[in-house]
A and B are shown apart, each in its own frame.
Chain A
Amino acid sequence: MQGTPGGGTRPGPSPVDRRTLLVFSFILAAALGQMNFTGDQVLRVLAKDEKQLSLLGDLEGLKPQKVDFWRGPARPSLPVDMRVPFSELKDIKAYLESHGLAYSIMIKDIQVLLDEERQAMAKSRRLERSTNSFSYSSYHTLEEIYSWIDNFVMEHSDIVSKIQIGNSFENQSILVLKFSTGGSRHPAIWIDTGIHSREWITHATGIWTANKIVSDYGKDRVLTDILNAMDIFIELVTNPDGFAFTHSMNRLWRKNKSIRPGIFCIGVDLNRNWKSGFGGNGSNSNPCSETYHGPSPQSEPEVAAIVNFITAHGNFKALISIHSYSQMLMYPYGRSLDPVSNQRELYDLAKDAVEALYKVHGIEYIFGSISTTLYVASGITVDWAYDSGIKYAFSFELRDTGQYGFLLPATQIIPTAQETWMALRTIMEHTLNHPY
């Protein structure tokens, strides 16, 4: 993997398009006044000195108005942009040329541009209005996701079923999707998203992934082999109360919503509440902290539900917990710098998974153990999973690396999900081929 590939590797913020801004106002004007700009051009003029600048200024003062400045004369060396109506083009260009004013044609025909913009806007409105189709490239509320789950299960009842594994603190159902081609107690793979409610990209990725699994079964040989031998469980909204709160009140809420008598602050960090190095470094005993571990291991119903389910099942072979952001793929331990016994294997697998991810859109992930790659953290999901005998325990931190952070634009949902899928597939395939 060499340096950053050029162009679209770092999906950054959309570029400032001041021309679009101005064009939009034109669309509005056109819509309201039904004006027609056919043949009108926008010229960019560069004045060499104050004298030339004042010549341009003279144009502005003409009555009736012959030009309309989008970027008015300010200083020499700053470009001046002016819209020239079709009927005035010849005169204006002659004026510029006779005074030695250099110009270029920025927009050859404004009406063409307006028509294109109008079409694009109408098109996107049509897509949004299309009912009955769940948009995988938008973020959704808890109700929308739960409703999608019911539809999804109904449409794919041959492989998917819904299991309620418990209730949240605020008594919301905790749901898991089971993907299975039959058999009794196949070895299983666990995937959870949304354990930290503000990490919206994770739920969105989970939903896309669920759909990907049913779409690719029977088509992708690797996935088909996996599902024929193993079951996959996906918990999409691991922290339903927190998630609802990110929609209603606080977009950056992380913890669950548990309340305890006499304690001023709300919520426990569900990824510090597991029974593995509980209470150690990288977790906090202050209930007001974002990494508050809770009063005791598994004290939180959201965590207890998973522990009980996985323990009762008894045959999980891989566990993948998905977070954002930082672009990392990690394995245990988080609680200490000590390596796990199959560290070499996990290192190699992470390397392969990250390469498969990179091939999709050129996004670079770093990888390694949690404590050495991200930070020391105790009482976390993957440490517990590993200590419980699940050899292939991984934690993802999805896009990005801080430009948008938790507020990742919805336009990045599908690309993120696509690349993450390739990493998941790599891990699942390895798990399939290395039974234990």
Chain B
Amino acid sequence: MQPRRQRLPAPWSGPRGPRPTAPLLALLLLLAPVAAPAGSGDPDDPGQPQDAGVPRRLLQQAARAALHFFNFRSGSPSALRVLAEVQEGRAWINPKEGCKVHVVFSTERYNPEEGEGRLGKCSARVFFKNQKPRPTINVTCTRLIEKKKRQQEDYLLYKQMKQLKNPLEIVSIPDNHGHIDPSLRLIWDLAFLGSSYVMWEMTTQVSHYYLAQLTSVRQWKTNDDTIDFDYTVLLHELSTQEIIPCRIHLVWYPGKPLKVKYHCQELQTPEEASGTEEGSAVVPTELSNF
């Protein structure tokens, strides 16, 4: 299969579509490595539309989806990462199958410590099946924090959670002014971890999610040593601008795979009250060895 670089005819998403180069998979190589400078491509051909901006957005969204998956799989609220910068990437779009993205990006810790400016690097292959959620993700990242340190911090978080007094009097995190009380930070981090699973599962080529706010939290007593939480979050979907409430149930123990069950509301139409999206997961038995 010989992928070939080609300048796209205008407009790129026109009726004719890509020219197949091989029987199995029609490939259209959109863009070679995207350089670091922020921008949306070269407008040197004023006659052509700005197609370079599309892959850039796609690369960012693929990187974020990969990070949702990575964070969830790590099962560690102390090792959460966020996207720092997309460094390079390529995309292949097959109108019948979907969209494959290979992206290299830098990350930083969600909770950087004093003076810590370290960046990790990740490489990911993200496959968005046509309009279907749960993109297939293959992601590896360089280590950002020492395994021992991460375990220590997870364990500390665990102990602090066990000591929380229930019922928790939480209104919302962050509050409406964006503030997260330091003593509530641990709750937010764990919620973010659980939400990562939900956001990954719901992501499609066009739908991309952010965690907007945590609106209620309830911790359950357990017979074993696990942490058991029920909480509701508001997710923000970018392309539709919708706010989606989800109920998430999470069971966690440091070092063990994360268990998540969730139930999200769908958009209200004038006729029906609400639909639901449900899902649950236990991390597959692969080892996380960061």
Q: Which residues of A contact B (CB under 8 A)?
A: 1-4, 6-7, 10, 12-18, 20-21, 71, 74-75, 77-79, 138-139, 246-247, 251-252, 254, 263-265, 269, 284, 286-291, 326, 337-339, 343-344, 347, 351, 354, 364-369, 372-375, 401-410, 412
Q: Which residue of B lies closest to A409 (CB)?
A: B178
Q: A344 with B38: in contact, given A14-B182, A265-B270, A364-B85 (CB under 8 Å)?
A: no
* Chain B residues with CB under 8 A of A289: 240, 242, 267
Q: Which residue of B lies closest to A408 (CB)?
A: B178
* Chain A residues with CB under 8 A of B85: 3-4, 364
* Interface contact A366-B239, CB-CB below 8 Å: no
In the complex, per-residue mask of B201-233: 1 if CB is within 8 Å of any chain A CB, else 0: 000000000111100000000000000000000
Q: Which residue of B lies closest to A18 (CB)?
A: B156
Q: Determine if B17 is an interface residue (Cβ-Cβ < 8 Å).
A: no
Q: Which residue of B lies closest to A407 (CB)?
A: B178
**A1 CA to B186 CA, complexed, in Å:** 35
Q: Most chain-A CB neighbours within 10 Å: which of B37, B106, B175?
A: B37
**A159 CA to B82 CA, complexed, in Å:** 45
* Chain A residues with CB under 8 A of B95: none
Known: A12-B111, A364-B38, A372-B57. 4 other contacts (CB 8 A): A16-B111, A366-B40, A368-B41, A406-B236
How many whole Å from B130's CB to the nearest CB in chain A? 18
Q: A12 with B108: in contact, given A1-B36, A339-B50 (CB under 8 Å)?
A: yes
Q: Which residue of A lies closest to B238 (CB)?
A: A375
Q: Which residue of A lies closest to B160 (CB)?
A: A18
* Interface contact B39-A367, CB-CB below 8 Å: yes
Q: Determine if B16 is an interface residue (Cβ-Cβ < 8 Å).
A: no
How many whole Å from B208's CB to the nearest CB in chain A? 9
**A114 CA to B181 CA, complexed, in Å:** 19
* Interface contact B212-A405, CB-CB below 8 Å: yes
Q: Determine if B253 is an interface residue (Cβ-Cβ < 8 Å).
A: no
B230-265 CB contacts (< 8 Å) to partner A = 234, 236, 238-243
* Interface contact A290-B241, CB-CB below 8 Å: yes
**A168 CA to B64 CA, complexed, in Å:** 38
* Chain B residues with CB under 8 A of A409: 174, 177-179
**A12 CA to B117 CA, complexed, in Å:** 11
In the complex, per-residue mask of B36-70: 1 if CB is within 8 Å of any chain A CB, else 0: 11111101001011111110110000001000000
**A135 CA to B275 CA, complexed, in Å:** 43
* Chain B residues with CB under 8 A of A16: 111, 182, 185-186
* Chain A residues with CB under 8 A of B115: 7
* Interface contact A372-B268, CB-CB below 8 Å: no
* Chain A residues with CB under 8 A of B53: 368-369, 372-373
**A284 CA to B11 CA, complexed, in Å:** 24
Contact partner, B38, options A12, A366, A374, Cβ 8 Å:
A366
Contact partner, A13, options B37, B111, B152, B156, Cβ 8 Å:
B111
* Chain A residues with CB under 8 A of B183: 21
**A7 CA to B112 CA, complexed, in Å:** 9
**A3 CA to B243 CA, complexed, in Å:** 32
How many whole Å from A247's CB to the nearest CB in chain B? 8
Contact partner, A404, options B13, B174, B268, Cβ 8 Å:
B174
Residue contacts A-B, CB under 8 angstroms, 10 given = A12-B109, A13-B180, A15-B114, A286-B269, A338-B11, A339-B50, A351-B39, A367-B38, A369-B50, A410-B177
* Interface contact A368-B40, CB-CB below 8 Å: yes
Q: Determine if B169 is an interface residue (Cβ-Cβ < 8 Å).
A: no
Q: Determine if B286 is an interface residue (Cβ-Cβ < 8 Å).
A: no
In the complex, per-residue mask of B268-283: 1 if CB is within 8 Å of any chain A CB, else 0: 1110000000000000
Q: Determine if B148 is an interface residue (Cβ-Cβ < 8 Å).
A: yes
* Interface contact B148-A77, CB-CB below 8 Å: yes
How many whole Å from A134's CB to the nearest CB in chain B? 16
* Interface contact B236-A337, CB-CB below 8 Å: no
B98-121 CB contacts (< 8 Å) to partner A = 106, 108-115, 117, 119
Contact partner, A252, options B186, B212, B269, Cβ 8 Å:
B212
Q: Which residue of A lies closest to B44 (CB)?
A: A344
* Interface contact B241-A254, CB-CB below 8 Å: yes
Q: A7 with B117: in contact, given A288-B268, A347-B43, A367-B39 (CB under 8 Å)?
A: yes
* Chain B residues with CB under 8 A of A7: 115, 117
**A374 CA to B208 CA, complexed, in Å:** 12
Q: Which residue of B lies closest to A406 (CB)?
A: B212
Contact partner, A12, options B112, B176, B178, Cβ 8 Å:
B112
* Chain A residues with CB under 8 A of B50: 337, 339, 343, 368-369, 372
**A339 CA to B119 CA, complexed, in Å:** 36
How many whole Å from B97's CB to the nearest CB in chain A? 22
* Interface contact B11-A401, CB-CB below 8 Å: no
How many whole Å from B112's CB to the nearest CB in chain A? 6
Q: Determine if B122 is an interface residue (Cβ-Cβ < 8 Å).
A: no
**A252 CA to B178 CA, complexed, in Å:** 12
**A4 CA to B64 CA, complexed, in Å:** 17
**A408 CA to B11 CA, complexed, in Å:** 37
Contact partner, A401, options B40, B43, B83, B243, Cβ 8 Å:
B83
* Chain A residues with CB under 8 A of B269: 286, 288
* Chain B residues with CB under 8 A of A78: 152, 155
Q: Determine if B26 is an interface residue (Cβ-Cβ < 8 Å).
A: no
**A375 CA to B108 CA, complexed, in Å:** 26
* Chain B residues with CB under 8 A of A14: 180, 182
Q: A344 with B46: in contact, given A15-B112, A369-B40 (CB under 8 Å)?
A: yes
* Interface contact A343-B43, CB-CB below 8 Å: yes
How many whole Å from A396's CB to the nearest CB in chain B? 14
* Interface contact A366-B268, CB-CB below 8 Å: no
**A287 CA to B268 CA, complexed, in Å:** 9
How many whole Å from A405's CB to the nearest CB in chain B? 5
Q: Determine if B94 is an interface residue (Cβ-Cβ < 8 Å).
A: no
Q: Determine if B144 is an interface residue (Cβ-Cβ < 8 Å).
A: no
* Interface contact B267-A288, CB-CB below 8 Å: yes
* Interface contact A337-B11, CB-CB below 8 Å: yes
Q: Which residue of A lies closest to B210 (CB)?
A: A402
How many whole Å from B235's CB to the nearest CB in chain A? 10
Q: Determine if B141 is an interface residue (Cβ-Cβ < 8 Å).
A: no
* Interface contact A288-B239, CB-CB below 8 Å: no
How many whole Å from A391's CB to the nearest CB in chain B? 15
Q: Determine if B87 is an interface residue (Cβ-Cβ < 8 Å).
A: yes
